[in-house]
Amino acid sequence: MKRHILAAAVTALSTSCLSMLQGLSPAAAAPAADRGRTVVTDPAARCASLAGVRVAAAAIGLPTRGAEVASASLDGADTAQGRPEFCLVRGTVRSFDPAAPDIAFQINLPTSWNGKSVQFGGAGFNGTVVTGLGVAPGFTNTDPAQGRPPIDRGYATFGSDGGTAVGNGPAGSFALNKEALANFSGESVKRTRDAAIDIVTRYYGERPGKQYYVGGSKGGHEGLVAAQRYGGDYDGVIAYYPAIENQAMVISWYRMWQAAYGRPGGYLDPARQRLVTDAVYRTCDGLDGAADGIISDVRSCDKAFSIASLRCPDGAGASDACLSAAQVRTMRTASSGYRFAFPLANGVTGIGRYPFLRGADLGMLLDGEGDAGAAGYLSLLDPVIRYLVEQDADGSLADFDYRKYEKRVRDLSGMLATTDPDIDRFTRRGGKLIIVQGTTDVLVPEEMVNAYYERMRARYGPSIRRFARYYVQPGLGHATGRFDLAWDSLTALDDWATRNKAPVNPVATDANPATENRTRPLCEYPLFPKYKGRGDVDRAENFTCAGH
């Protein structure tokens, strides 16, 4: 009993001292609780008092010159939209190297706070402030099945530009600065988090009871950064289609782009693109028992469909009804695994097949006019090769060979990759991890994420289910697809992290307008939704999660 009384006294004294150090009265720093929430008194004045607040460099776990709040204003409640009153804070984490871009951030502090916070991940090359006002994990998909935005639920939320903004500079050019590249590799996750949590604590007088990270693609990569490198800071992470190995993806994109445009006759025009896609669906759509426009059993599809079946008899490709030998080679290259000339970080030796013969759209690989400069992959691989690998603004993709840059590629892989299965610090804290991947993702191929999860499973064995779930959604591509997944993953994560209630039989909803509200069981890898043989094919209850 004495120990408990002493602990309570120390806590009260700490809160009082914190308040005085921050220039706030103890009463203001400890708002009244209401139904399990913290309700800020006089929020307009309290919010305004944050303007100009500085966060000491010592409060941020990586080198900076501290952080500063540029503006803080109270945003009124929007009852029609369900948006509560909140304090909108904008500011910057000042780079340690004055030549590097600062990290611009936004923090949203609801007047009625649930005691938790959500950090949002970025996208692409970052460079644009993530407001933290969207739905988790940062989707534009606002289907009700996705759940309300975290700010609407009472979470304090925040995001940043990742410290890679270069004004009107070319995409990727930030990488010529070492600190900006380090931020892109994942250090911005820590710098943003530490500055934001300091400000959240100043506003409410207490730290969040739970800290979550949510993101997709680059943001999914950053979610795994949070779990692997800064696991002691987070209670939960949601990572959708995480871009876990930048160099592996870029090397493979370049290989496919070269196959399509660098060889005579390798390009497939729109008619032949449709020929391939239609043939794949004719062969594979019904392998899960339901002809529903989704290829769920992709492993059986690999065995059932051969691109050679579309080869013209003479190999010349004179008809829209068949492919030339060169076009067949392009599709084989694009849909087969690739082994690297040397291992990347954490012993990664290759990358699995891309899903172009599993139902994925060919538009990222092939444009509509045969213009190599218009191919979707080019906009992503060119900046990486030019600025990250070659480190030359005047660099070129012409005759690029990653093997000539072995040391640089290895170094970049070591910086950027989130393929380390060791998340011990995260699990010791009690952290929970949810990973979601789609079968038709042509940027982050499912097999790459599968391989990472298998490495985790090899490390942790059956105990992995105490802290991780990995779901694979058929028909989902990179944030969209024939099945546009909507699922309230934040509620699932929060229930798991706060009540130890792990997700059980989650249901995925399709947000596409033409097929809106059809549902499927969201199956854990390596299972897939298989039709039971009777009932409405648009209802999840008529499917079961099956394996091979």
217 in catalytic set: yes
* Helix (H) / strand (E) containing 223: helix 218-229
Do 386 and 514 have their domain in common?
no
Please write the tens of the pLDDT for every residue from 14-49: 333 333 333 343 334 444 334 479 999 999 999 999
Tell me the backbone φ, ψ of residue 126, rounded to 5 degrees: 60, -150
Q: How confident is the model at residue 138 (pLDDT cuts 50, 70, 90)?
A: low
Do 342 and 404 have their domain in common?
yes
Do 176 and 95 have their domain in common?
yes
Could you tell me the pTM of the whole model? 0.93
Do 467 and 361 have their domain in common?
no
Strand 37-39 to strand 112-113: parallel, antiparallel, or no bridges (unpaired)? antiparallel
Strand 210-216 to strand 236-240: parallel, antiparallel, or no bridges (unpaired)? parallel
Can you tell me whether residue 320 is helix, strand or coil?
A: coil
Q: Among 355, 390, 416, where does a domain finish?
A: 416
Q: Among 416, 436, 460, where does a domain finish?
A: 416
Q: Among 394, 416, 438, where does a domain finish?
A: 416
Question: What are the angstrom distances between the C-alpha of 129 and each of 122, 181, 221, 380?
Answer: 8, 17, 17, 20
112 in catalytic set: no
Percent of the chain with pLDDT over 70: 93
Please write the tens of the pLDDT for every residue from 432-483: 999 999 999 999 999 999 999 999 999 999 999 999 999 999 999 999 999 9
Do 458 and 393 have their domain in common?
no
Residues 513 and 141: their CA atoms lie apart, in Å, by: 11
Q: Which of 117, 160, 188, 217 is catalytic?
A: 217
Average pLDDT for residues 348-369, to the nearest whole number? 96
Q: Which of 152, 297, 441, 494 is catalytic?
A: 441
Can you tell me whether residue 133 is helix, strand or coil?
A: coil
Do 143 and 112 have their domain in common?
yes
Q: Which domain holds residue 525?
A: 2-247+417-546
Q: Which of 478, 484, 488, 494 is catalytic?
A: 478
Q: Is the pLDDT of residue 82 over 50?
A: yes
Do 132 and 212 have their domain in common?
yes
Do 426 and 456 have their domain in common?
yes
Closest of 285, 322, 289 to residue 304, by C-alpha: 285
Residues 543 and 491: their CA atoms lie apart, in Å, by: 23
19 in catalytic set: no
Do 308 and 402 have their domain in common?
yes
Average pLDDT for residues 392-421, to the nearest whole number? 95
If you compute the radius of gyration of the chain from its CA atoms, what whole number of angstroms results?
25
Name the domain count of the chain: 2
Please write the tens of the pLDDT for every residue from 414-431: 999 999 999 999 999 999
Do 17 and 114 have their domain in common?
yes
pLDDT at 320: 85
Do 263 and 339 have their domain in common?
yes
- Report the mean per-residue pLDDT for the chain: 92
Please write the tens of the pLDDT for every residue from 294-324: 999 999 999 999 999 999 998 787 788 999 9
pLDDT at 27: 31
Q: Is the pLDDT of residue 167 over 90?
A: no
Do 427 and 508 have their domain in common?
yes
pLDDT at 22: 37
Average pLDDT for residues 478-502, to the nearest whole number? 96
For residue 412, the one-letter residue type is L
pLDDT at 311: 96
DSSP bridge partners of 120: 214
